[in-house]
Each structure stands twice: as structure tokens, then as C-alpha cells.
Chains A and B, each alone.
Chain A
Amino acid sequence: DVKVTQSSRYLVKRTGEKVFLECVQDMDHENMFWYRQDPGLGLRLIYFSYDVKMKEKGDIPEGYSVSREKKERFSLILESASTNQTSMYLCASSQDALGTQYFGPGTRLLVL
């Protein structure tokens, strides 16, 4: 079974703090994704990566950056957290760019 894990289930941070969200997958997948999920808006793609050290902007990259130094690990960074970044963050991975995505359990981030 594919396993995608995320570093935290719940996180509380203060405005202006730097936040790191980490995601690890154990299936040697090429592609990894970061989404945020908000009520009524579905899942919105922040960034994705199709290879180590490669990254592509999604639909809402502003205020975020990512890092993929190893194939199995994809990190999402909030350089200076703001209250409008309070959300559920979901990481996913897939073998094929257009294939099935396997999601992690999510990190619910609250920025005060």
C-alpha cells in the first residue's frame, strides 16, 4: 500500500512565523503535490514537483515556497505565516503526472 505521511496533524502558529510542512511518500513516486482545502473551495493546488529539485507553481503559489531535495520528501514553506493561510494542507503523490494521486492525512494549520 502507498503511504503518504505528513509531519503534523495539527499546527498552531503566530502571524509572521516561518512554517515548515513536510510530506514523505514511500512508493518512489515521481510526482508530489501540495494542496490546501477550504470549505466550499475544494482542493486548490499550491505547488507540485515532477522530479527531485524541480518545482512548478500551481494555482495559488503566492505566500508559499517548496523544496524537494530527495525524491521521497516534499516540503511546503510559509515564509511569513498570515491568518489567511489558516487551512487544511494536503500532500499527495503519484507515479504518473495524470495518474492516481495518493493523499496524506493532512495538516490542519491555524495561524493566530
Chain B
Amino acid sequence: GQQVMQIPQYQHVQEGEDFTTYCNSSTTLSNIQWYKQRPGGHPVFLIQLVKSGEVKKQKRLTFQFGEAKKNSSLHITATQTTDVGTYFCAGTSTDSWGKLQFGAGTQVVVTP
């Protein structure tokens, strides 16, 4: 069945540095969504990408959907302590209507 894998599982970042987390699917995706979960909180929707090669930006966050619609990335520039949390990607396979498959998440720790 469809699998969504995220790497790395953990990311320690110095405040001010950039980092990227990657999401890879074993099947072609209809869309990819990204969520952020703060420590002790629940996942909160960040963005959805639908088109092949799509790039979207939210302030210091850049999201990209691969040309083959099987991978995605989230790049954060100039990391701040407010970026702490776990970032999940979630995708819907073209043959599994209604079922969003979540990756295991990248847990981000920011040191001042």
C-alpha cells in the first residue's frame, strides 16, 4: 500500500540556520499537505500543494511538490525558536480516495 516517508526524523538546528525536511511517497499523490504540531499540541494545517512542480512560500517557509508528484520538501530559512515542533507531510494517493497518509514527522529542536 501507499507509504509516505519523512526524513530526517529529528533535526537539531541552531537559531538562524536553514534546514530542509523531505517527504517521499511510494505512489503518485493527488496532493500533499503539511502540518505543524507544537509540543503538547495538535497538528495544524500549514499548506496544500496540488500541481506538479508547485512551489509555495509562507514567510520563511518554502514548500515544494516534486515534478513526479511523489515527493515534497519544506525548507525553513533563518530558523527561530517559534519553529520548534514536529512537521508532518500527508498525501493522498491517486488510488486511495479520502485517505490521507501521514509521514512519521520531522521533530525540530531549535537551540538559541
Q: Which residues of A contact B (CB under 8 A)?
A: 31, 33, 35, 40-45, 48, 50, 56, 58-59, 90, 97-106
Query: Max chain B CB contacts within 10 Å: which of A42, A45, A100?
Result: A42
Q: How far is the CA of A106 from the CA of B40 in the complex (A)?
A: 10
- Chain B interface size, as a band, is 20 to 34
Known: A40-B9, A43-B88, A105-B42. A100 touches B33 (CB 8 A): yes
Report chain B residues within 8 Å CB of A50.
98
Report chain B residues within 8 Å CB of A31.
98
A/B interface sample: 11 pairs, CB < 8 A: A40-B104, A41-B104, A42-B6, A45-B100, A58-B99, A97-B98, A98-B100, A100-B33, A101-B45, A101-B90, A104-B42
Are B102 and A44 in contact, CB atoms less than 8 angstroms apart? Answer: yes
Known: A103-B42, A103-B43. A43 touches B48 (CB 8 A): no
Q: Tell me the smallest distance from the CB of A22 to a CB of chain B, in Å.
A: 16
Q: How far is the CA of A89 from the CA of B15 in the complex (A)?
A: 32
Report chain A residues within 8 Å CB of B45.
100-102
Q: How far is the CA of A84 from the CA of B98 in the complex (A)?
A: 27
Report chain B residues within 8 Å CB of A100.
33, 45, 48
Q: Tell me the smallest distance from the CB of A27 to a CB of chain B, in Å.
A: 13
Report chain B residues within 8 Å CB of A59.
1, 99, 101
Q: How far is the CA of A33 from the CA of B97 in the complex (A)?
A: 14
Q: In the complex, which residues 20-49 of chain B have their Cβ closer than 8 Å to any Cβ of chain A? A: 30-31, 33, 35, 41-45, 48
Are A101 and B98 in contact, CB atoms less than 8 angstroms apart? Answer: no
**Residue in B9, B98, B104 whose beta carbon sits within 8 Å of that of A98 in the complex:** B98
B103 within 8 A of A: yes
